[in-house]
Amino acid sequence: MSTNIQDSESLGSSVLSIALIGPEEHRRREVASALAGSQAAVTREFSSYPPDLDDVARLLEQHYDVVIVDLDSNPEYALDLVESVCTSGTATVMVYSAQADAELLVRCMRAGAREFLTLPLAPGAMDEALVRASVRRPAVSLTRKTIGRLLVFLGAKGGAGVTTLASNFAVSLAKESGKSTLLIDLDLPLGDAALGLGITAQYSTVNALQNFSRLDSTFLSTLLTKHSSGLSVLAAPGKFAQAPVSNEAVDKLLAVARQGFDYVVVDAGSRLDLAGTALFDESSTVYLVTQVGIAELRNSNRLVTEFFTGRGPKLEIVINRYNPRSLEVDEEHITKALTRPAQWKIPNDYAAVRETQNTATPLTLGNSPISRTIRQMARSACGLPLNPEKKKGFKLFG
């Protein structure tokens, strides 16, 4: 049984056509009232679920832009319905429930739902969801003319400090460039970029990779956590999650991320198993993080020779924890081992790093020698002139 609430022709071609499916009248009325207050919605109400999932194709003959489904009347059947609608057409699927259940939300996301509306609806929640659905509509969606830059941090050896540098670089890049910046923690399964930034994430990189076939900019946006600096973060899972990751899934994640952000920074840890992904294609810049030690320099030499001598990503070598007064190897041999001069040397400042780890405050927000160097790296990455180095002087006291 269905009822028309508004006539699409009377509202013009910019409206969204919406199917509202809700067996329980009280909950359906609340959602319908929120839709009625929208200036861009045409709604058809269905007071029952389709009797059989085979009927979904007939339901979608109307070419709805949005299908909104009540979860609470029959959660298991509703989830099957959501998945069926998602696989049968291009409609954006939203669900609503009086239960703010995290496990149910994840199941809905895996089934393909793009929005989870909790009853009672917060003011403006429906309008915001419809705006996002309007952007996704194929007829009106806009394609970015350029894709965002991919900046990858890779360690020559475990413990090189990749996460500290990647996360602080990403914060600096967001602040210095003023453009949209995303940090993706691919150092699975034990990445801790979120911990270092002092943020708690509800969703993780694993959620994106496990659902890569449905991944788009809208879906990705629901998985991100915002840092106070303006940086968006796709964190590693807070709990141990040993999940197989395919190159196809990583490539899809990177492609979607670059469509939505001007800069995409990736903490790749020391994961050479990702060498066959877009992380190493010609459009990316790889920051190879190493230290002045025999093992680190040997690994760096092997990596540079293997991945960066022919066509491939741009390489910038970063020597971390650099202390020229206590070098185990002289500068000439360092350059020879790396096959080229290092572009960046991050000063060794154990106290500053320890403080930022204990307080979860990014290094780059301070004014230590490390933070100044990382800001220079960020400014270079976004094409800004480097800040002039302050020269040390002396004062005479009379």
Do 237 and 328 reside in the same domain of the chain?
yes
Report the CATH number at residue 195: 3.40.50.300
The count of structural domains within the chain is: 2
Do 112 and 219 reside in the same domain of the chain?
no
Do 232 and 132 reside in the same domain of the chain?
no
Please say which residue of 136, 167, 193 terminates a domain: 136
Do 113 and 165 reside in the same domain of the chain?
no
CA distance 225 to 56: 35
pLDDT on residue 144:
46
pTM for the structure as a whole = 0.64
93-97, 179-183, 325-329: least confidently modelled range: 325-329
Q: Decide if 390 is inside a domain.
A: no
Peptide bond into 341 cis (omega under 30): no
What is the percent of the chain with per-residue pLDDT over 70, rounded to a whole number? 87
Helix axes 331-338 and 294-307, enclosed angle (nearest 10): 30
Mean pLDDT of 289-317: 87
Quick: pLDDT tens for 80-102: 999 888 877 788 999 999 988 88
Quick: pLDDT tens for 117-173: 999 999 889 989 998 888 776 543 444 446 899 999 999 988 888 999 999 999 999
Residue 395 has pLDDT above 50, yes or no: no
Do 61 and 153 reside in the same domain of the chain?
no
351-385 burial, b for 16+ CB within 10 Å, e for fewer? ebbeebeeeeebbbeeebebbebbbbbbbebbeee
Q: Decide if 124 is inside a domain.
A: yes
Greater model confidence, 24 or 37: 24
Look up the domain containing 246 and give its range: 149-381
Q: Decide if 389 is inside a domain.
A: no
Do 119 and 259 reside in the same domain of the chain?
no
Nearest partner of 182 among 172, 170, 193, judged by Cα: 170
Q: Decide if 394 is inside a domain.
A: no
Report the CATH number at residue 30: 3.40.50.2300
Q: What is the dihedral of CA 104, 212, 81, 223, to 10 degrees?
A: 40
Report the Cα–Cα distance between both ends of the chain, in Å, rounded: 94
Beta-sheet pairing, 344-347 with 314-322: parallel
Mean pLDDT of 249-278: 92
How many other CB atoms sit within 10 Å of the CB of residue 135?
13
Greater model confidence, 137 or 248: 248
Nearest partner of 267 among 187, 181, 148, 182, judged by Cα: 187
Q: Decide if 82 is inside a domain.
A: yes
Do 86 and 155 reside in the same domain of the chain?
no
Rounded to 5 degrees, φ, ψ at 257 are: -60, -40
**Residue 390: which pLDDT band, with cuts at 50, 70 and 90?**
low
Q: Decide if 388 is inside a domain.
A: no
> With contact defined as beta carbons under 8 Å apart, do 226 and 219 qualify?
no
Nearest partner of 21 among 54, 11, 12, 64, judged by Cα: 64
